[in-house]
Amino acid sequence: MSDQIAKFYAYVDSHEADFVQRLADAVLYPSISSDQTPQGRQNVISMGSYIHAQFAQFVAKPEDVQLVDLGFQDNTNPQIRLPPVVLARIGEDANKKTVLVYSHYDVQPVGGWKEANVQDPDAFILNTTRPDGQLIGRGATDDKGPIMGWLNVLEAHKSIADGLGKPLAEILPVNIRFLFEGMEESSSLGLDKWINEEVQKPNKGWFNGIQCACITDNYWLTTHRPALTYGLRGIAYFSINIEGATNDLHSGSFGRMVHEPMTDLVKLFSLLVGTNGVIFKEVEEMVPAPTPEERAQYAQLDYAVSDLRQDIGNPVELSEDPVELVMGRMRYPSLSIHGIQGAFDTITTAIPHKISGRFSIRLVGKQTPKAVHEIVDKFLRKEFDNLKSKNKMSLTLEAQGIPWVGDKDHWNFKAAHAATIAVHGVNLTPDYTREGGSIPITLTIEQALDGENVLLLPMGRSDDGAHSLREKLDRDNYFKGTKVYGTYLYELAKQVAS
């Protein structure tokens, strides 16, 4: 270990309380991007300004940190402004590698948090007092923890640089470009457009010279072994819209007299996917069966049925075979039903006259949202016709993302692998995983960089509960994750591009 890395580790160890407070300060912002009220959107914008101010402490020139205005959000009335992209640049040494780091500062809604967390009634006040080391709060792991981890890395190195009487950029082993957005949880609205316009500028604008990318917005496969992620499922998010009478009806007066939208929807939902997780055959047949060689690769992952049970709390797994389980997450498509807009959540005997059933399909391989949309639309229209209902049905593709698989043998991954072992030890070599979730911006970044390698380097564990009513980040993952991020930079500098 070099003297500088040892100083970096020592700084992290001696500033753990400060780093937890930094995360608590970030969690305070209720930056829910799906909240389109004026105050809700201002909360996200304020979070972006906070991130901007934090990174401004570490840049050499004021222009090296920017708030990029993405304009106004579509389909809102009145129009509301999109949260800004936060850019920061540290180092412009042509003799060093340049890495792009991406994360997001918006979070999911918190409906039901207070009821589910009696001891932690406010999702935006980080619980830092638990004896098990869990830091509980919305955004703790997704994705404010990773952003604060990068700030921790910069602060530690700024201290080292000041002690040497040198600029921060001079002692960092690589050049870093940071990109943080505030709409990731809401389809990254506006970001694709900005990136595509930026790379059309002379020398690719802000993306000039970037040789690899690191996305810090995912999680380990388990609670006990680090992971590096080289693949993501895509997504096609749909709504089935069914309309019957002109107004809600009284079931006592009109039950068994009219076609009910809810009945039609439940029938259609039941045909989309079985209780065994298998989707209707036209979607399943788009994906070839795994070869024995593929199964052997998944069997090498350090995963057991008990890992899944630990994450989900109850024994409701679809299989007793861990290989089938991990393939269900990484290799197969999945269809999940999410909710019904227009239904009642109180005791009532009314018949909803208009409802919208929400479901999504996680895509793999060569599946595209466009192709799957056509198949799903054809299937639902046929099945709806079979119902002989006089209601009206339509299908809308609400959001989409293409599946992505990167090159896990690239020097970018070798650097992350070495960094993980350096921090966690040789007995915890990382699993190489394909994540079951979707981060559509991954493919956009890869294309913007003309195919340069993109790596997903997680901080949190599989049981962190991102998007759930008890989201947390373990202290150990927060501090060791900070060390992994910093060590990754040093390992990048050692790699020779092939």
Q: How confident is the model at residue 176 (pLDDT cuts 50, 70, 90)?
A: very high
- Determine the distance from the C-alpha atom of residue 150 to the mean position of all C-alpha atoms in its chain, rounded to a whole number: 17
User: In whole angstroms, what is the distance from residue 189 CA to residue 490 CA?
Assistant: 34
> What burial letters (b/e) apply to 294-320, b meaning 16+ CB within 10 Å?
eeeebeebebeeebbeebeeeeebeee
Rounded to a whole number, what is the largest CA-CA distance in the chain? 83
User: In whole angstroms, what is the distance from residue 198 CA to residue 372 CA?
Assistant: 31
Compute the 3-state secondary structure of the chain and give helix, strand, coil in percent, each to the nearest 5: 40, 20, 40
Q: Which pLDDT value is given to residue 119?
A: 86
Walk me through the domains of the chain, giving residue ranges and CATH numbers.
Answer: 1-232+404-494 (3.40.630.10), 234-287+332-401 (3.30.70.360)
Judge whether residue 498 has pLDDT over 60: no
Q: What is the CA radius of gyration of the chain?
A: 24
User: In whole angstroms, what is the distance from residue 402 CA to residue 364 CA?
Assistant: 8
Q: Can you tell me the mean pLDDT for 445-470?
A: 96
User: Is 444 exposed, middle or buried, given 0-12, 13-18 or 19+ CB atoms closer than 10 A?
Assistant: buried
User: In whole angstroms, what is the distance from residue 153 CA to residue 457 CA?
Assistant: 15
Q: Which pLDDT value is given to residue 75?
A: 66
Q: Can you tell me the mean pLDDT for 197-201?
A: 96
Q: Which residue has the tokens 């406010």?
A: 122
User: In whole angstroms, what is the distance from residue 284 CA to residue 358 CA?
Assistant: 20
pLDDT tens for each residue of 14-50: 999 999 999 999 999 999 999 999 999 999 999 999 9
Q: Which pLDDT value is given to residue 118?
A: 84
DSSP assigned state of 61? S
Q: What are phi and psi of 417, to 5 degrees?
A: -60, -50
The SS3 call for residue 473 is: strand
The SS3 call for residue 51 is: helix
- Note the pTM of the prediction, 2 decimals: 0.91
Q: Which pLDDT value is given to residue 29?
A: 98
Write the CA distances from 157 to 16, 97, 160, 311, integer angstroms: 15, 18, 5, 35
Judge whether residue 1 has pLDDT over 90: no
pLDDT tens for each residue of 373-426: 999 999 999 999 999 999 999 999 998 999 999 999 999 999 999 999 999 999
Catalogue the active-site residues: 106, 184
Q: Are 481 and 144 in contact (CB under 8 A)?
A: no
Q: Are 353 and 341 in contact (CB under 8 A)?
A: no
Q: Are 156 and 12 in contact (CB under 8 A)?
A: yes
Taking each helix axis from N to C terminus, what angle separates 475-494 and 144-164, rounded to the nearest 10 degrees?
Answer: 60
Q: What are phi and psi of 273, to 5 degrees?
A: -150, 145
Q: Are 464 and 392 in contact (CB under 8 A)?
A: no
Q: Which pLDDT value is given to residue 76?
A: 63
Write the CA distances from 4 to 7, 15, 157, 484, 487, integer angstroms: 5, 17, 9, 14, 10
